[in-house]
Structure 1
Amino acid sequence: MDEVKVVVAHSERATLRVGDVFLKVDTDQARIDVEVEAMALVPVPTPEILWRKPPVLAIAAVPGTALGRLGEPSTGSPAAWAAAGAAIRKLHEAPLPPWPGRRRRGPDELVAELDGECELLVTNGVLPADLVTRNRQVAEAAIRPWTPVFTHGDLQIEHVFVDGGEVTGIIDWSEAGRGDALFDLATLTLGHEEHLDDVIAGYGTDVDLDVIRAWWSLRSLLGVRWLVEHGFDPSAPGCEVDVLRSRM
């Protein structure tokens, strides 16, 4: 009998694996609605939906292996990273989804959130002031006008599965919506800067690398406290705190 493996679990949601079936438990049905609709629309490989019975969504495992994990060396080849870039370009060229995106924020709102988070990080002694100040400066480049595209919204490296030089599936679409293309590229390469050139080669168009680096800082600054509060360790080698230190 297949054992039950906890893939991720925190107070907002949990994902379990039983054999080749993933069970996603989420009381926020709007988030699951987005995931289901996004997988039906996107022009890239996604998991098969087996059934849905709120608050549970059952999906089939995708073939291949994850491109990597944050904090660990990637086993993906340059060709695999380039294939990921090509798949992301295909997604970004797709027609916009009918919903705006769960996390879409205007520049003023984003600045206010970032400044508030930076103040909390320093006041509560979570991170040194000089580290926060430097990365707040770097993050400024990400706060600019951008043309919305169909984005994954949470394109972490472990959400992209590959086999050789082919993308076999992209998972976890609950944050999909209209967003900044460079946010997706930055999320994928967070902590794996050495593969950025491969991704951009596959993406096939010029991008502003300063903006991608700015998103690394911005995403990390906004994520550190949440990660700590939900039982994760952003200070593990290669993770968010190391990403922030790399900007010093």
Structure 2
Amino acid sequence: MDEVEVVVAHSERATLRVGDVFLKVDVDQARVDVEVEAMALAPVPTPEVLWRRPPVLAIAALPGATLGRLGGPSTGSRAAWAAAGAAIRKLHDAPLPERVGGAGRSIVALAAELDDECESLVTNGVLPAGLVARNRQVAEAALRPWTPVFTHGDLQIAHVFVDGGEVTGIIDWSEAGQGDALYDLATFTLGHEERLDDVLAGYGTEVDLDVIRGWWSVRSLLVVRWLTEHGFDPFAPGCEVDVLRSRM
């Protein structure tokens, strides 16, 4: 019998792997609904849904491998990174889904959330005030009007699988919906700034790099405390705190 591998587990959800099957356990069925619907709509390769019995969603494993992970070395050829950029562009060019995803929050709401989180990080001594202030300044570039596109909403490097120069699938669609295209690009290249040019070569259009940098700061500031409280280490080399330090 195959061993059970715990891929990720925290108080909100858990993902287990048994052989070629991933079992996602999530008590928030609305989040699972979004994931299943988004995978059906997305014009890019996604995992096959094998069955669903709340609170468990079973999906098939994808061929290939990811291009790395946050805090680790990036892998894959320049062609593979460009292929990922092309797949992201194909998603962004697709018809809009009905739902507004997490990346589609209003500018006012996002700025308010960011200000509250920055205050908490400093007040509780999680991060130095100067580091937070500098990144809040950088983050301002992302807080501008954008044209909504079909976004993944949580396009971490670990969520995109490639084989050679071909994208074989994109996983974890629970945050998908209408959002900012540059948020997806920033999330995918978070901690791997050296690969941004390759991704944009495949994406095929010019983007505002200050906005990308702004989203790196936004995402990192917003998740440091959550990660710490849920057993992850944003202070590990190459992870979120290092991303914030790189803006100094």
By the TM > 0.5 criterion, same fold?
yes
Hey, what's the Cα distance between the residues in 2 that align with 1:184 and 1:240?
16
2:232 maps to 1:246: no
Q: Does the alignment pair 1:34 with 2:39? A: no
Per the TM alignment, residue 102 of structure 1 is displaced from its structure 2 partner at its CA by: 4.3
The answer to whether structure 1 residue 233 and structure 2 residue 228 are counterparts is: no
User: Distance between the aligned counterparts of 1:109 and 1:99, measured in 2?
Assistant: 17
Q: What is the aligned partner in structure 2 of residue 66 from structure 1? A: 66
CA distance in 1, matches of 2:179, 2:128: 31
Structure 1 residues 103, 145: CA separation in 2 closer, same or farther (over 3 Å shift)?
closer
Give 1:222 deviation, angstroms: 0.4
Deviation at 1:104, TM superposition (A): 3.1
Give 4+ residue runs of structure 1 displaced > 4 Å after superposition: none
Q: Equivalents in 2 of 1:103, 1:228: separation in Å?
A: 22
Give per-residue Cα distances to partners, 1:143-164, cap 9 Å, x unaligned.
0000000000000000000011
What amino acid does structure 2 have at the position aligned with 1:230? Answer: H
5+ residue gaps, structure 1 = none
Code of the residue aligned with 2:20 in structure 1: it is D
User: Could you give the per-residue CA deviations for residues 110-130 of structure 1, whole angstroms, max 9, x where no partner exists?
Assistant: 111001000000000000000
Q: 2: CA distance between counterparts of 1:94 and 1:237?
A: 36
Q: Cα gap change, 1:180/1:230 in structure 2, threshold over 3 Å: closer, same or farther?
A: same
CA distance in structure 2 between the partners assigned to 1:215 and 1:103 by the alignment: 10
Aligned residue number for residue 127 of structure 1? 127
With normalisation by structure 2, the TM-score equals 0.99
Seq. identity, %: 84
Q: What is the aligned partner in structure 1 of residue 99 from structure 2?
A: 99
Cross-structure match for 2:110: 110
Match of 1:151 in 2: 151
The equivalent of 2:222 in structure 1 is 222
Q: How many residues align?
A: 248
- C-alpha distance in structure 2 between counterparts of 1:172 and 1:53, whole Å: 17
SS in 2 for 1:186: helix
In structure 2, distance between residues paired with 1:105 and 1:88: 20
- Structure 1 length normalisation: TM-score? 0.99
